[in-house]
């Protein structure tokens, strides 16, 4: 009786061992079959491999549940935001005229050329002459008006702020010919009556050098007036440009505007 019991017990243990070994063998085969196919033990001895948890658990007879993401959980994808460079243009002396062309028209043409180069432009078209008349101010007080305009703006959001003027010099001074094409010359003006004027000067120096690299005759250079500030003390990105003179034509001014717009766009893209 005892011997029969031992025999049955031995058979039970033997069968249990066979089942256990079969399970281990099946499990090991599945594990390796679940490894990603791009894994190679010889070529990638420390490569991380992946296992299909769902299939493995189901084969083992266990339940598998997909992890549900609560509605309040969000996965944010980091994206780079492209911000257009901005230029703010105003005319302290809005009523200045060329030969059959106006400074305001030249300013609007500069805006359109810059926008073609993906530069965002804001032109302040407030009627300065009307403000002067309403407040009993003279033409010399124009900078007081534009100073208030600048102070009402967040000038830090603009890459460059341009006070665009037309010079009163003669045609021989304000005009150049390049390959038989006439251009209005530009001149940069810096006020030097404030401590940080060199910052504004450095900005204009970079633009001036870029223009001269295209053709040296296009620029008349930088004029420093120590007794003035031209509101440039409000920010180091505020510049004054004299574009052509009273005798320049629309075509001559626009030829230069097309070059100036490219120089400004190139500077902002640096």
Q: In this structure, what CATH number is given to the domain that contains residue 207?
A: 3.40.630.40
C-alpha distances in Å from residue 188, one per residue of 164, 235, 242: 10, 16, 6
Tokens of 22: 């079969």
**pLDDT tens figures, 147-194:** 999 999 998 999 999 999 999 999 999 999 999 999 999 999 999 999
Q: Does any domain span residue 67?
A: no
Q: Are residues 31 and 145 in the same domain?
A: no
Q: Are residues 214 and 103 in the same domain?
A: yes
Range of the domain at 234: 86-268
Other Cβ atoms within 10 Å of 52 Cβ, number: 15
Q: Are residues 161 and 30 in the same domain?
A: no
Q: What integer pLDDT is reported at residue 35 of this predicted model? A: 46
Number of H helices, E strands in the chain: 8, 8
Q: What integer pLDDT is reported at residue 85 of this predicted model? A: 87
Give the whole-angstrom CA distance, residue 21 versus residue 23: 5
Q: What integer pLDDT is reported at residue 44 of this predicted model? A: 45
Burial class (CB in 10 A: 0-12, 13-18, 19+), 167: buried
Pairing of strands 175-178, 181-184: antiparallel
Q: Are residues 158 and 264 in the same domain?
A: yes
Q: Are residues 216 and 261 in the same domain?
A: yes
Q: Does any domain span residue 75?
A: no
Q: Are residues 144 and 258 in the same domain?
A: yes
Q: Are residues 168 and 213 in the same domain?
A: yes
Tokens of 77: 């994808």
Domain count, the chain: 2
Q: Are residues 90 and 178 in the same domain?
A: yes
Q: Are residues 26 and 91 in the same domain?
A: no
Q: Are residues 234 and 107 in the same domain?
A: yes
Q: Does any domain span residue 68?
A: no
Q: Does any domain span residue 51?
A: yes
Each of the 270 residues of the chain gets a pLDDT tens digit; together they read 544 445 555 555 556 556 655 555 555 555 545 444 443 434 444 444 455 555 655 555 555 555 555 555 444 454 555 567 899 999 999 999 999 999 999 999 999 999 999 999 999 989 999 999 999 999 999 999 999 999 999 989 999 999 999 999 999 999 999 999 999 999 999 999 999 999 999 999 999 999 999 999 999 999 999 999 999 999 999 999 999 999 999 999 999 999 999 999 999 998
């Amino acid at each position: 009786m005892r011997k029969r019991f031992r025999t049955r017990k031995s058979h039970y243990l033997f069968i249990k061992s066979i089942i256990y070994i079969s399970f281990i063998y099946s499990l090991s085969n599945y594990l390796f079959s679940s490894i990603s196919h791009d894994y190679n033990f010889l070529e990638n001895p420390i490569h991380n491999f992946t296992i299909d948890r769902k299939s493995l658990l189901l084969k083992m007879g266990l339940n598998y549940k997909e992890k549900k993401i609560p509605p309040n959980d969000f996965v944010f994808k980091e994206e780079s935001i492209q911000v257009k460079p901005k230029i703010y243009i105003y005319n302290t002396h809005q009523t200045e005229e060329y030969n059959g062309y106006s400074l305001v028209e030249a300013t609007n043409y500069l805006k359109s050329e810059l926008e073609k180069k993906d530069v965002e432009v804001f032109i302040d078209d407030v009627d300065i002459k009307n403000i002067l008349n309403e407040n009993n101010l003279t033409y010399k007080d124009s900078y007081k008006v534009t100073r208030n305009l600048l102070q009402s703006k967040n000038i830090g959001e603009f890459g460059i702020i341009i006070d665009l003027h037309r010079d009163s010099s003669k045609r021989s001074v304000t005009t150049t010919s390049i390959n038989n094409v006439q251009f209005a010359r530009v001149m940069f003006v810096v006020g030097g009556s404030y401590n940080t004027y060199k910052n504004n000067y450095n900005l204009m120096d970079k633009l001036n050098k870029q223009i001269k690299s295209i053709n040296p005759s296009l620029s008349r250079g930088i004029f420093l007036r120590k007794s003035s500030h031209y509101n440039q003390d409000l920010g180091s990105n505020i510049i004054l440009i004299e574009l052509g003179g009273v005798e320049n034509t629309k075509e001559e001014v626009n030829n230069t505007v097309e070059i100036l717009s490219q120089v400004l766009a190139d500077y902002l893209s640096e």
